[in-house]
């Protein structure tokens, strides 16, 4: 799903104008970016949580030359799905697998 898909859904379901929908999506994403950049975590009930993770610096190696290269400390973002979403996705994939694997009519595999 793309940002434009979210905008189209807002236009269709909430009768917003294209500009209003774009502004709404941009505002939400900007607020999320600002929170993550300042080190805050984001939790959206029913969806999951974004966490800022701090990584320590370490000494790496250039695989081509074997030279030791210091790697600076950095921050990354992880996403963990919420229980409700995880269960829903697993139910959907289980039902899809059942449809894709019909049993033979003769009873033999």
Following DSSP, what letter does each residue of 57-97 receive, concatenated?
-EEEE-TTT--EEEE--EEEEEEEE-HHHHHHHHHHHHHHH
Q: Is 54 helix (H, G, I), strand (E, B) or coil?
A: strand
- Residue 34 and residue 45 in contact, taking contact as beta carbons nearer than 8 Å: no
pTM across the whole model: 0.72
pLDDT at 9: 96
pLDDT at 94: 82
What is the per-residue pLDDT across 40-59, written as a single tens digit (0 to 9) for each? 999 999 999 999 999 999 99
Return d(Cα 25, Cα 34) in angstroms, integer.
Answer: 14
Return d(Cα 58, Cα 49) in angstroms, integer.
Answer: 27
> In this prediction, what percent of the chain has a pLDDT beyond 70?
92
Query: At 79, is the pLDDT very low, low, confident or very high (cuts 50, 70, 90)?
Result: very high
pLDDT at 6: 96
């Amino acid at each position: 799903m793309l940002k434009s898909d979210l905008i189209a859904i807002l236009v269709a379901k909430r009768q917003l104008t294209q500009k209003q929908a774009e502004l709404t999506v941009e505002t939400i994403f900007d607020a999320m970016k600002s929170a993550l950049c300042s080190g805050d975590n984001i939790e959206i009930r029913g969806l999951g949580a974004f966490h800022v993770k701090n990584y320590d610096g370490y000494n790496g190696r250039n695989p081509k030359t074997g030279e030791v290269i210091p790697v600076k400390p950095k921050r990354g973002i992880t996403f963990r799905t919420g229980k409700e979403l995880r269960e829903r996705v697993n139910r959907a994939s289980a039902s899809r697998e059942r449809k894709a694997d019909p049993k033979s009519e003769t009873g033999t595999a």
